Amino acid sequence: MKRLLVVRFLVLLLLIATSAHAGSMRCGTYLVANGDTKADVLLKCGEPVAQSEHQEQLREGIDQAQEVRTTFVFNDWVYNFGPDRFMQIVTFMNGRVADIRSGSYGYAVNGSVDMCRDGQLLKAGDTAAEVELKCGAPVNRESRADSVIDKIDTHSSLKRTIAIEEWTYNFGPKKLILNLRFENGRLVKTETGGYGY
């Protein structure tokens, strides 16, 4: 009986330990986890190397005298811990950590390694902040916002504002122009044009 209690206790400790690290990241001796505020993350990790933002709005009470709108603000913060570790993307929803995911490998601060390779190292889902860190600022940047309204039921809908950015990179006369499309700060489309100038 005593052995069974010890086994249960050890299993419980293991479950607690693994759940504490799910959706978390380390900044030195500090642990950042879901639910932490932006201020918590800034104190634990310092300023991110890049960040982006988009919004979504939930509308309830459609076709009634009163309508309630709830806005959700999403921020992506990118942390670079060097070339031997993956960059970490912390997503906040209304100022609190909602998700933490690994990006591509980080880079040395001196920037001696070409992290862009004319766009070949970019992949769908990269954040705009990651792309700018890898490739630098584009030569042209166009922005607009589209709205999509999804009906949930007869009295509510979700209005999503899609922030669209189109970036152009010119890597010189012997390389192709690179055109990128981002939706809500995430890379969704990569195209090449003619030769640069």
CB 73 within 8 A of CB 93: yes
Segments in 92-155 forming alpha helices (H): 128-135
pLDDT value, residue 11? 40
Q: Which of 139, 43, 54, 145 is nearest to 92 (CA)?
A: 54
Its pTM stands at 0.67
Is residue 99 within 8 Å of 88, Cβ to Cβ? Answer: no
Q: What is the pLDDT of residue 114?
A: 67
CA 20 to chain CA mean position, Å: 21
pLDDT of residue 14 exceeding 90, the answer is no
**Whether the Cβ atoms of residue 142 and residue 166 lie closer than 8 Å to each other:** yes
pLDDT digits (tens, 9 = 90+) for 38-56: 999 999 999 998 888 888 8
Average pLDDT over residues 9-23: 43
CA–CA gap between residue 172 and residue 116 (Å, rounded) = 14
59/137: higher pLDDT: 137
| pLDDT, mean over the chain | 82
Residues sharing a CB contact under 8 Å with residue 178, sequence separation 6 or more, in sequence order: 118, 119, 168, 169, 171, 190, 191, 192, 193
